[in-house]
Amino acid sequence: MALAGEYAAMCNQTLIMTKPGVTLKKTLSGAPVPSKRVCFSALKLKNYHKARLGVKAVTQIEVGSTATTEGSRDLKGLEGTLELDLVSEGELREKGFMGLRKTKLVCTIGPACCSLEELERLALEGMNVARLNMCHNTREWHLDVIRKIKKLNDKGYCVAVMIDTEGSQINVVDHGAPSSVKAEDGSIWHFTAEKFDGSRPLTVQASREGFSEGDEVVIDGGMATFEVVEKIGNDLRCKCTDSGLLLPRAKLSFWRDGELVRGNYELPTLSAKDWSDIEFGVSEGVDFIAVSFVKDAEAIRHLKSHLSTKSAKLAKVLAKIECVESLQKLQEIVEASDGVMIARGDLGVEIPLEQIPSMQEKIIEVCRHLNKPAIVASQLLESMIQYPTPTRAEVADVSEAVRQYADAVMLSGESAVGSYGQKALSVLRTTSSRMESWGREESMQAHLNQSKLRLSLSDRIAEQICNCAAEMANNLGLDAIFVYTRHGEMASLLSGNRPNPPIFAFTSDRGARMALSLQWGVTPLLIDLSDDMEANTEKTISLIKTKGLIKEGDTVLVISDVIPSCATQTLLFQSIQVKTVA
Ligand SMILES: Nc1ncnc2c1ncn2[C@@H]1O[C@H](COP(=O)(O)OP(=O)(O)O)[C@@H](O)[C@H]1O
Ligand SMILES: C=C(OP(=O)(O)O)C(=O)O
Ligand SMILES: [K+]
Ligand SMILES: [Mg+2]
């Protein structure tokens, strides 16, 4: 009764309420819809001639056996097309509803996987999002990859594109060798911002003003360490104090008296190059923009408001959590963004490595509560850059991210430059699928409810619907959840409950479909939605049945948050129904 009471008190709208189990008679376009008694909630609202009664919001909770494909309704006008990607369709045919993988897979694209054939192999292997790290390679190269992915999507794949900004970091630009070089203990190196001609050159980006003698220079979070022995103008003369490898684009951090020197973070979150890369990404219609070294919510808000003036299709903005400031302002950053990447590479430079697993779990949990996807990134299968099998520890790391309910896991060098990118992706896929099914078998996924973080009534109703829907779907052992959603909001909200059955999100918005590629457990499908929810449901079930993907006796839970376009602006139609395919 809580929902009904709250609803009536706060909304002051006309409501139709009956006792539990009593069904209001109604017709929808003249078609009788049989409904059964359901011991589910004290509230049972029906879509009851809302226009006549002046009802602004209708919540319908209905459980019934409905002849969905044949018989009860005139299917004229219900023909249409349904875009389900090739890979999900194959997975569904082969393994059934419960075989659909929940954890999404992101691959960094680099020279090792940028041909059309290689990209297609990754798509077939389950890549949901292709990441382009703007730190590397040319504009033309990135453009070529984006165009190839569009080509694959035209063939029936559904791969979203993410660009990842370079951000303000100090990188090795040139260390005088084509690949990695070893720095020996006690050897002397020069760090310069200029092209350097002398011996042991190390050309690094950004100015090192403010750094002083005695500072420690740490390469790639500990691959090698140097001490600044002398400042010569704007250059630094450094002695290697801990030998190790210098990779071509290694990252540098400066430490003084055991504390990180924040000099490089005084640079803006988005540099002129980042803005130019973002313009490029927007003009190419990328789906996600991941912002490096986010320090507060302001940079994210600024970028989002900039994007909203740019084009109709809004790229989603992901905040990379990779510095201490982003941990300190985690909540506000997650709230402002459309999701996060837990960028463990740089994060591991800033906080002790042993803190990363617990920090990762905390970030994922904050994201789940705020209904934002979280990607776990960096070094998941690092050894596979060189070797065809992962270490046991790497497999355990991937499993842990899945157990923590990350929305997605990501490959970096493993796919970009590694010799076994496709195999690494297959390891991610099989490891996450196994962990997911084990979680279900052991009932570890029971009832992850949304907490009441949302403030508006309609948001809280949506949240309650998702809580109920997930609980019903799990308890009743339903086959699938169908969500009808214009902007993807309801589907992503439901994903937060991490229900057992797969979530099929039907949307007529291409951008919303792509954005859902990153959301745990959601298979996004493109379809024309009408204002008639019954018609939408019947049309989709009919089309899926025609494809042979759903059969008589399968049970689906149907949820909608579609706002009919013909209705008043404020009219909301939110419902839960259980349908048995006839
Ligand atoms: N577009 C690209 N072109 C060339 N090399 C790339 C590209 N993207 C990634 N790489 C390589 O893959 C490695 C891992 O990728 P990533 O984790 O994105 O970068 P980084 O190590 O710079 O943080 C990079 O160090 C770089 O060597
Ligand atoms: C993913 C990361 O960011 P980038 O590769 O851009 O440094 C990271 O630091 O882990
Ligand atoms: K980057
Ligand atoms: Mg980083």
Convert the pLDDT of each residue in 227-282 to its tens digit. Answer: 999 888 778 889 999 999 888 778 788 888 887 776 554 678 898 999 999 999 99
pLDDT at residue number 26: 33
pLDDT at residue number 249: 73
Residue 72 has pLDDT above 90, yes or no: no
pLDDT-derived band at 15 (thresholds 50, 70, 90) equals very low
CA dihedral 412, 417, 418, 422 (to 10 degrees): 70
pLDDT-derived band at 469 (thresholds 50, 70, 90) equals very high
- Give which of 218, 266, 216, 210 is closest to 244, Cα–Cα: 218
Question: How does DSSP assign 227-269, residue by residue?
Answer: EEEEEETTEEEEEEEE-EEE-TT-EEEEEETTEE--GGGGS-S
pLDDT at residue number 204: 61
CA dihedral 497, 500, 501, 502 (to 10 degrees): 60
pLDDT-derived band at 341 (thresholds 50, 70, 90) equals very high
Q: How many CB atoms lie within 10 A of CB 199?
A: 9
Residue 164 has pLDDT above 80, yes or no: yes
State the chain's mean pLDDT as an integer. Answer: 81
Q: Which atom of ligand 1 is nearest to the CA of 345?
A: 23
Higher-scoring residue by pLDDT: 564, 224: 224
Starting from the CA of residue 137, give the closest ligand.
1
**104 ligand 1 Cβ < 6 A:** no
344 C-alpha vs ligand 3 centroid, how far in Å?
12
**360 ligand 2 Cβ < 6 A:** no
For 120, 275, 277, 284, the CA distances from 143, given in Å and listed in that order, are 17, 16, 11, 8
Element (H, E) at 332: helix 330-336
Rounded to an integer, the average pLDDT of 327-348 is 96
CA end-to-end span of the chain: 32
Residue 473 has pLDDT above 90, yes or no: yes
333 C-alpha vs ligand 1 centroid, how far in Å?
25
pLDDT at residue number 565: 55
pLDDT at residue number 451: 62
Looking at 64-137, list the stretches that DSSP marks H as alpha helix, in order from N- to C-terminal side. 86-95, 116-124
4 C-alpha vs ligand 1 centroid, how far in Å?
53
Rounded to an integer, the average pLDDT of 21-41 is 32
448 C-alpha vs ligand 4 centroid, how far in Å?
31
Using the Cα atoms of residue 92, residue 93, residue 95 and residue 96 in order, give the sign of their dihedral. Answer: positive
Give the relative orientation of helices 139-154 and 116-124 as an angle to the nearest 10 degrees.
50
Kindly report, residue by residue over 32-66, the tens digit of the pLDDT: 333 332 222 323 333 333 333 334 444 455 444 34
Q: What is the 3-state secondary structure (H, E, C) of 494-545?
A: HHCCCCCCCEEEEECCHHHHHHHHHCCCEEEEEECCCCCHHHHHHHHHHHHH
pLDDT at residue number 65: 37
**249 ligand 1 Cβ < 6 A:** yes
Residue 18 has pLDDT above 60, yes or no: no
Judge contact between 186 and 240, C-beta under 8 A.
yes
Separation CA 507–CA 519 (nearest Å):
14
Question: Chain centroid to CA 404: how far?
Answer: 14
274 C-alpha vs ligand 3 centroid, how far in Å?
10
- Give which of 578, 543, 573 is closest to 561, Cα–Cα: 573
Rounded to an integer, the average pLDDT of 287-312 is 93
pLDDT-derived band at 356 (thresholds 50, 70, 90) equals very high
Residue 84 has pLDDT above 90, yes or no: yes
137 C-alpha vs ligand 1 centroid, how far in Å?
9
**344 ligand 2 Cβ < 6 A:** yes
Number of H helices and E strands in the chain, helices first, is 18, 25
- Give which of 403, 406, 400, 397 is closest to 367, Cα–Cα: 406
pLDDT-derived band at 179 (thresholds 50, 70, 90) equals confident
Starting from the CA of residue 343, give the closest ligand.
2
**170 ligand 2 Cβ < 6 A:** no
- Which residues touch 68 (CB under 8 Å, ≥6 apart)? 537, 538, 541, 542, 579, 580, 581, 582
pLDDT at residue number 285: 95
pLDDT-derived band at 330 (thresholds 50, 70, 90) equals very high
**223 ligand 1 Cβ < 6 A:** no
pLDDT at residue number 575: 78
Kindly report, residue by residue over 193-216, the tens digit of the pLDDT: 766 555 556 666 544 556 778 989
* Closest C-alpha residue for ligand 1 atom 16: 412
Phi/psi of residue 530, each to 5°?
A: -105, 180
Separation CA 150–CA 162 (nearest Å):
13
